[in-house]
Amino acid sequence: GNVFAYVYIIILGSLLLLNDLMGLMTENVKHLNFCPYSYFYSTIFSLFHILFFLSDLNAKGAVFQAFEMYRLKSCVDFKPYEGEKTFIKFEKLDGCWSFVGDLQTGQELSLGDGCDHKAVIEHELLHALGFYHEQSRTDRDDYVNIHWEEVQQGKEHNFVKYNDSFITDQNTPYDYESIMHYGPYSFNKNVSAPTVTCKIPEFDNIIGQYLDFSNMDIIRLNRMYNCSSSLTLLDHCAFESINICGMIQSSKDDEDWVHIKSISGMDDHTLLGQCRGKSDDINSTFNTNQSAVLESRILYPRRDLQCLQFFYKMTGNVNDKLVIWIKKDDGTGNVRTLVKVHTFKDSSWKIAHVPFQATSKFRYLFQGVKGNPAQSNGGIYIDDINLVETRCPSGVWQIKNFTGFLLTSPSGEYIQSPQFYSPEGYSYGIQVIPNSSYKGYTGIFFHLYSGVDDGALEWPVANRQASITVLDQDPDIRLRMSSSKSFTTSVTQDGNFYWDNPSKNGKYDSNCQCYKSGTWGWRTFISHYDLHRRNYLKNDDLIVFYLQMKVVEYNKHHATFTFYNLLCNLNKYKRNVLCVKNVSTFLYLSLLQIPKFRIRCTRSVCVITMPRLKEFSEAFRKKVIDSYEYGNGF
């Protein structure tokens, strides 16, 4: 079986200040990377609980985002701390830094001001897992120049080159794109003078990227920990292999899906017709209301929520339909209970997200239903499927012909999104500025709208982490380097009531016939260079995700608690017993004052005993904070 590497985590610290969202986040962060030991984490552990004492909600959310990227792209997981000798302790100290490798006595990882960014935390955790900077490789002088005369005094250790008897490159080539590589101006004395330049100048714009792991970062991580699996990816299919990812044709439909190569007018999404990529489709030879059903292989979930993401195109009749089903275990061990999930209609390549809540083995199904074939010369196409155990984004905005906006939009002019609603009922919008006032960058800003549910909502809306992502449209979700940024709302953020009811503090907008709040965001969300370098503008579409999560304040007296069942299987015949699986934290201190209250924990389950459990359960729930469960894996 696969080896899963687990690391114990403690998160501590006082209030962390929010990044300056209006400016460019610095990539030149402080590191103290010494390695008195050459150990790294490699032991298999069971699930423990994390002690959360981190006051800053945005920093805590960014840590969870980084954890989710590790789970998606590698076999490494970060498990809760329970008094073990080896652990990583997150604190707000001076700058962003980590020790390299396992000190075997517990160790600090600093997230100072401006460090609450997913990519920064990914970088620092790689240090803790045993990685040095890319420019510290033994062969680095073949690839980059270090300009020592421009390095700040006292920062020289960040550019040390190590002998190959001390570190290993995992038999991989030099990676300019590594998240562990410094940028040209790291720790420089003079603003305009670089400390690192590439022997091949074209790579100067690539080193120092803080988008996400590079593909080589993940190859090395999995080699170091002797595995290659993802912890949260259930299925991926781009239809490029002959076995179509183990999918099967249903025997109870009218026709079959066809595995086709791209031709003019019938391009796939993976390669957009270049090199004759492949997709699956149904065509216009069907009769009206005839259908074809394509089923996935049987899948075994680890979590109780999943998100199916895929691209689809419908070029036939306007009455053609694409229906998504989930076939669940019927309780006998057979996967045969059908549940209709969603129906799609569209005429060009478009991204789709379908949330599942499978708790036992299941299949997902694509059913293509034909409209009027006499008026159709096209078909229904699907491609680039990824099924991940995470939350689907709250909002998805696909902007077509974005290159045209880059070429023609004046500086500062924005494109306005449709009006979206979060799962809680808050209405919001997003503005994309193709040509920001910060030259060479695209900006993205967020705002609230007045909405139909405002009278029933909490105002001001505080303690919500808003995460915005510009999608790297690589077919394989594990290889994507999407650009993501987050901020967390507060009652008086930046001295202004941005997050109060827009009907109270906003301005009337005739376009939506509603009120709009002020905007909050980043002038430098993504560089034009990066937009054109990877798959951000595939098919000339810019795809923006939005995910909003409610988070809660923490202090040393309380944290989170996750309910599993009022009665677990082991105690279902006992009275006044509450069993909770995967406990993450503690109860309020007031709960400890309940007479005859008793809690008994193993490594994965806590059993709570108290008088009159049935009558007390609702009050008990209200006194417990739901665990923060981050989910943006895209």
Catalytic machinery residues:
124
Determine contact, residues 121/210, Cβ cutoff 8 Å. Answer: no
Determine contact, residues 66/25, Cβ cutoff 8 Å. Answer: no
- Report the number of secondary-structure helices (H) and strands (E) in the chain: 7, 33
Determine contact, residues 358/281, Cβ cutoff 8 Å. Answer: no
157 is in an annotated binding site: no
Compute φ and ψ for 429, nearest 5 degrees: -145, 165
Tokens representing 182 are 């410094």
Q: How far apart are CA 154 and CA 32, in angstroms?
A: 11
Q: How far apart are CA 597 and CA 431, in angstroms?
A: 52
Helix pair 57-73, 118-128: axis angle to 10 deg: 60
Q: How far apart are CA 182 and CA 134, in angstroms?
A: 8
Q: How far apart are CA 562 and CA 77, in angstroms?
A: 19
Question: Which residues have C-beta within 8 Å of that of residue 615, sequence separation ≥ 6?
Answer: none
Helix (H, G, I), strand (E, B) or coil at 220: helix
End-to-end CA distance of the chain, in Å? Answer: 27
Q: How do strand 427-433 and strand 441-449 relate by DSSP bridges?
A: antiparallel
What H or E segment, with its residue span, contains residue 428? strand 427-433
Q: How far apart are CA 36 and CA 101, in angstroms?
A: 9
Q: How far apart are CA 602 and CA 571, in angstroms?
A: 14
Using alpha carbons, select from 10, 6, 34 the residue that is nearest to residue 106.
Answer: 10
Q: How far apart are CA 418 and CA 429, in angstroms?
A: 7
CA 303 to chain centre: 16
Q: How many CB atoms lie within 10 A of CB 419?
A: 17
- CA 369-375-379 angle, 5° bins: 45
Q: How far apart are CA 554 and CA 576, in angstroms?
A: 29
What residue has token string 């054109």?
532
- CA 458-462-467 angle, 5° bins: 120
DSSP secondary structure of 309-372: EEEEEE-S-TT-EEEEEEEEE-SSS-EEEEEEEEEE--SS-EEEEEEE---S-EEEEEEEE---
Q: How far apart are CA 428 and CA 421, in angstroms?
A: 6
What residue has token string 């999943």?
306
Determine contact, residues 156/107, Cβ cutoff 8 Å. Answer: no
Q: How far apart are CA 283 and CA 381, in angstroms?
A: 9
147 is in an annotated binding site: no
- Output the CA torsion 510→511→512→513 (10° steps): 20
127 is in an annotated binding site: yes
Binding-site residue positions for Zn(2+): 123, 127, 133
